Structure 1
Amino acid sequence: MRNKDTCKLCGNFETLTFEHIPPQGAFNSSPVLFQDKENLLDKSSYRYGGRKRSNRGAGGYHLCGSCNKNTGSWYANDYIDFAKQGAYVLTHRVYANNFICAEYEIKPLNVLKQILTMFVALDNSGFFLKKPSIREFILDRKSKSLPPDIRLLMYMSSAISLRNPLSWSNMDGYARTFGEITFIPFGFHISIETPTINRPFCDISNFSDFEFGEESLITLPLRHLIPQSILPGLYL
C-alpha cells in the first residue's frame, strides 16, 4: 500500500494498490529494471541515465483497489492465456519474412480491454483522465464502444520489457499522439486522434466487435519487431 492518490482509471482519490503491467501471470513475476522520466529526461538528477529496480515485476501504484480488482477479475486471466499462447508461437513457429502467422483461441474484447487498461495505468500525463469515453469503455465490461479515434495495433517481440505508454511527437511528417507497451511475447501500439504510423502492425481494434466473454479463434499475422530505443515506433 501507499498514500492516497488519483486512480488513473476511475479518477477517484483513493489508496492505490500495486498493478502488474502486464498481469503477473503473463511472465511478469520476476524483478525488472526500468527507466522513468527521472532516468531519461532529468539531467539534474543523480538518477539520470540509470535504472530503477522493481522486485515485484513490472508495474506500479496506478489503480485503486476497486479498479485493480475489477479489471483483474474481468480481463487479466484472458490476457494471460493470450500471452501464453503467444509465447508458445514465438518459440515454436518458423518466421516467414519476419512475420509469424498463427491462430489464437482467445476472448478478444476481454484482451483488448486489458491492453487498454495497461495504457491507461501507465499514463502519467493525465491525458486519459480527460478522456471519459476510454475509461467508461474499460469500466463497463459489456461495453463494445471503443472510441472511434483510438486504434490498437500489435506485433510480436522477444524484448523483455520496454514501455512507452504515451508520446507526442512528429513522426513521418505528422504530429501524432501515440504510445507503446512491449513485454515478451507481444508489443502493442496505440494511436489516438491521429493516423497510425506506417509500420508493419496488425490492427486489433476490431476486437471490440465481440461480446464480453465471447471466445473466438483469431488468426493474427504478427511481425516480429525489437524496439530500438525508448521512443515508440523505432525498431531494429
Structure 2
Amino acid sequence: MKKTGKCRLCSEVKKLSFEHVPPEAAYNSDPVFFQDSENLHDKSSHVYGKKKRSPRGAGGMYFCVSCNNNTGGWYANDYKEFAKIGMYVLKSTVYANKYMCAKYPIKPLNVIKQILTMFVALESSGYLIQQSGLKEFLMEPESNKFPKGIRVFAYMTSAINLRNALSFSNLDGYMRYFGEISYIPFGFHISINTPPINKPYCEISNFAHFTYNEKVEITLPLQYLIPKTYFPGMYK
C-alpha cells in the first residue's frame, strides 16, 4: 500500500510505503496493539482511551519508497542481528541487580544508524531530522559524522511500546528534548541538545566511532527496564 506524503527522512513529497519500526525481521511481523499521544491525551479524539491495531507489525507510512528501501538495505539486517543476540540474552541470562552484561558481535555504526532511523520515522514534528548533520549521517552509509548534541542510550526490555519519539519537558530543572522507543528486546532513549535523564542507561553514541560494515565485539551492560507510562524516562 502506498500513499503520497512528505517523507520524514528526505523531506520530499513522494509515494510513501509502510516502514516497520523496528525492522520487520527484528521480531516485528505480527499484529500489535499500541497507544500513542492521540489515544492517551486527546480527549476530543474518537480513539481516546483506546488502542490502535497494526496488523503488519509496529510502524506506519513514514518514509518514501526510496528511503525505506535504502535504509532497509543499509542498516536493517544488522539491527536484526543485534536484536537476535539481545533476545537470546534476555531469555537465557541469569542477572543480578537487573543488569544483563553480554558480548555483542555486531556492526555498531550500522546499528546506531538504524536506531536513529527509527526515531526519525516516529517523530512527526520534523524537529529531529532538522538537527544539523543528521540527515546526511543517515543517508550516507559511509558517514560516521555523528551529529553534535544527540546522545543515544540503550536498555533491555520485554515491552512492546513505541512510546514518545520526541518529548519536550521541564524535568529536573531542565527543559529537555528527549524521546524513547521500547520494543523487545531493547529500549532506546535519545536526548537532543540537553542533559540526559539521570537513569541507569548504557550510552551507545560511540557506536558511530566505527566504520560502515565494520564488525566488532562490544560488551554492553544493559539494565532491564519496563516502561511505566507513555512518557519517556518512567519505569516500573
Fold conserved between structures, TM > 0.5: yes
Q: Percent identity?
A: 58
Quote the offset at 1:37 in angstroms.
Answer: 2.7
Asked if 1 retains the 8 angstrom alpha-carbon contact of 2:3 and 2:17, the reply is: no
Asked if 1 retains the 8 angstrom alpha-carbon contact of 2:36 and 2:163, the reply is: no
Moved more, 29-38 or 226-235: 29-38
Determine the structure 2 residue equivalent to 1:159. Answer: 159
Q: TM-score, normalising length from structure 2?
A: 0.98
Determine the structure 2 residue equivalent to 1:63. Answer: 63
Quote the offset at 1:132 in angstroms.
Answer: 4.8
Asked if 2 retains the 8 angstrom alpha-carbon contact of 1:128 and 1:135, the reply is: no
Determine the structure 1 residue equivalent to 2:24. Answer: 24
Asked if 2 retains the 8 angstrom alpha-carbon contact of 1:154 and 1:203, the reply is: yes
Task: Please tell me the residue identity of whatever aligns with 2:182.
Answer: T
Task: Please tell me the residue identity of whatever aligns with 1:168.
Answer: F
Asked if 2 retains the 8 angstrom alpha-carbon contact of 1:157 and 1:225, the reply is: yes
Unpaired runs of 5+ residues, structure 2, are none
Quote the offset at 1:172 in angstroms.
Answer: 1.7
Quote the offset at 1:164 in angstroms.
Answer: 1.4
SS at match of 1:130: coil
Unpaired runs of 5+ residues, structure 1, are none
Stretches of 4+ moved more than 6 A in 1? Answer: none
Task: Please tell me the residue identity of whatever aligns with 2:101.
Answer: C
Moved more, 11-20 or 164-173: 164-173
Task: Please tell me the residue identity of whatever aligns with 2:135.
Answer: R
Determine the structure 1 residue equivalent to 2:54. Answer: 54
Quote the Cα distance in structure 2 between the aligned partners of 1:89 and 1:73.
Answer: 26
SS at match of 1:128: coil
Task: Please tell me the residue identity of whatever aligns with 1:172.
Answer: D
1:105-128 CA-partner distances (Å, limit 9, x unpaired): 000000000000000010111212
Quote the offset at 1:76 in angstroms.
Answer: 0.1
Q: How many residue pairs were aligned?
A: 236
Determine the structure 2 residue equivalent to 1:176. Answer: 176
Determine the structure 1 residue equivalent to 2:220. Answer: 220
| CA RMSD, 1 decimal | 1.0
Asked if 2 retains the 8 angstrom alpha-carbon contact of 1:39 and 1:49, the reply is: yes
Task: Please tell me the residue identity of whatever aligns with 1:87.
Answer: M
1:1-236 paired onto structure 2 within 5 Å: 1-236=1-236
SS at match of 2:232: coil
Quote the Cα distance in structure 2 between the aligned partners of 1:71 and 1:45.
Answer: 33
1:144-203 CA-partner distances (Å, limit 9, x unpaired): 011120000000001123331100001122110000000000000000000111000000
Moved more, 62-71 or 2-11: 2-11
Quote the Cα distance in structure 2 between the aligned partners of 1:197 and 1:131.
Answer: 20
Task: Please tell me the residue identity of whatever aligns with 1:49.
Answer: G
Quote the Cα distance in structure 1 between the aligned partners of 2:112 and 2:162.
Answer: 19
Q: TM-score, normalising length from structure 1?
A: 0.98
Quote the offset at 1:44 in angstroms.
Answer: 1.2
| Change beyond 3 A, Cα 1:164–1:120 | same
